Chain A
Amino acid sequence: MSPDPANRRSTGSARDPGSFRDPTSQVFSIDGEIFRGLDQHALADYQAAAQTTFFPRLLTEGAVVGTDLLASPPPELSQWAGVLRHDRVSTITYPFEWAFEMLRDAALLQLDVTAAALGEGFITKDATSYNVQFEGSRPVFIDVGSFQPLRKGEQWYGYRQFCELFLNPLVLQAVGGVAFHPWLRGAIDGISPSELAPLIEGKQRLNRGLLVHVRMHARAENRYADADSERDISNEMKQAGLGPAVLSAQVANLRRTVEGLTWKAQRSTWSDYSDRGHYSDNDLAAKDRFVADTIKAHPGAAVLDLGANDGRFSKLALENGASRVVAVDSDHLVIDRLYRHLRDTGESRILPLVIDLANPSPGMGWRGVERRSFTDRMNVDIVLCLAVVHHLALTDTVPFDLIVDLLADFGSDLVVEFPHRDDPMAARLLARKRSGLFDHYDRPQWEAALGRRFTINATETAPSGRRTLYRCTPL
């Protein structure tokens, strides 16, 4: 949520580039603090919500981001009727970077927040998965501007958005067996019911939740595609008695449908990596020590663990004084398992993300800045890049200097591991290559590339002599 220079130029303010769709309530980042400007209607809605019992309760529980109405707002925001200050979320992430179970928990949070609001005559006027963030492994609802009193006969305007950005990606993964990440990343408004409906086949066609929210939704969408101009359905429904009881039943029905969705994948390329059978005990102990010593020298550091797998080194970082860790891996299943483990053990300082380093999230949406790139959002002190370089260099065939450029993009201290040609994992990857094509994969050329962007402060070769660890600071 840091200010974007391009946005400053065009608006003369520090409006968050992802906050412009709701004209009544918009987010700003000023001097590292997060503010929300409210127009007179949104301010009245906020003040009404603050008088309820559900809103303070959600704040106390941490389900909604910490929020205060400011008596003296920053002068830059003087044009707004009211200004809120929000607690800053450590790392902004997007739903196409979450594991299945994270998106599912975020969906349940959105529904619980909406149900709580409905219980006291309020509604959430939208329901996008971008309105939920993860503080470590804990989902938090951040769109405080979404709450408004429910008017007589009004529908839940967020229903369609909920289906497109929460439910349908979950159905795609759980029922279709198709990863939701590429589709959600490519479609900022999510997956429509008519796009998803053809994937519901066999006995899944009998699933009541999918029948209503996907298949009948798609059919109604097609049937009434041109009806909006002919009839005022919204008003006709009001006449027919639409009210909070129907909306509460809708939300409860959605909750049952989401709860019924599970992703049953058991095995993936990296899901059995955690036994680390290819490491000798001595090598692993030396690596642990090297990482621990680095973290101990930076108490309270924020750490980015690239290729985190089961989170072994993320947890080691916390044990040695790190304040929080972003743990990324390209393997969806290992991140899903890591998230479940963190949630079930109550460890909320690790944020697991599904990220392919060879193709990290780009800037996207309006002017390419509405959703910011992965590297742009990582505000960390130390990057751990352990057992990753050989995959980037040999599987993804990325030259050493470009790998080092990626590591330098984070602008942080670095601990990086280089497996030599005779390391069993590197040797296995090299064995697939045509002879002579990867002769440049050696330690001197790696160190030359590393030295171009980093100062190497410490080097340690594992007892087996097959891997070397480097402790570096950016030039």
Chain B
Amino acid sequence: MFAYLDAQTGSMIAAALAGGAAGIGVLLRMYSNRFLGIFSKKHRERAAADAASLMDSPSESINS
């Protein structure tokens, strides 16, 4: 179950920046995942499955 507030992307980035070295590490990994995701079907499918599990809904392929 998600919070009733909408998350805003800008706030998420700022919050990660405020999270010290660990937060900046998250941002660096996020951007590197994006870069890899352009080339890797495996990465795209894993991200889609994780998104589905976070939303409490059945997993769907990003290509479907």
Could you list which residues of chain A lie within 8 angstroms of chain B, going by C-beta atoms?
21-24, 41, 125-126, 148, 151, 153, 155-161, 163, 193, 212-213, 216-225, 227-228, 231-242, 245-247, 249-250, 253-254
Contacts and interface: CB of A to CB of B under 8 A. Distances in A.
Contact of A234 (B7, B10, B18): B7
B22 A249 contact: yes
Given A21-B4, A220-B13, A237 B50 contact: no
A258 to B, nearest CB: 12
Given A212-B17, A236-B47, A245-B22, A125 B8 contact: no
Q: Report, as a range, how many residues of chain B touch the other chain.
A: 20 to 34
B18 A126 contact: no
A222 B10 contact: yes
A241 B26 contact: yes
Q: Enumerate the 6 nearest inter-chain pairs by beta-carbon distance, A residue then B residue, closest first.
A: A221-B10, A217-B14, A240-B29, A224-B9, A157-B3, A220-B10
Nearest to B26: A240
Residues of B contacting A: mostly: helix
A235 B15 contact: no
B13 A238 contact: no
Contacts of A217: 10-11, 14
A235 B5 contact: no
Interface in B14-31: 14-20, 22-23, 25-30
A193 B54 CA distance: 28
Interface of B: 1-5, 7-20, 22-23, 25-30, 33-34, 46-47, 50-51, 54
A228 B9 contact: yes
Contacts of B12: 155, 233-234, 237
Given A242-B16, A246-B16, A228 B8 contact: yes
Given A23-B4, A126-B3, A250-B19, A238 B54 contact: yes
A301 to B, nearest CB: 41
Given A235-B50, A239-B30, A240-B33, A159 B17 contact: no
A347 B22 CA distance: 42
A155 B3 CA distance: 10
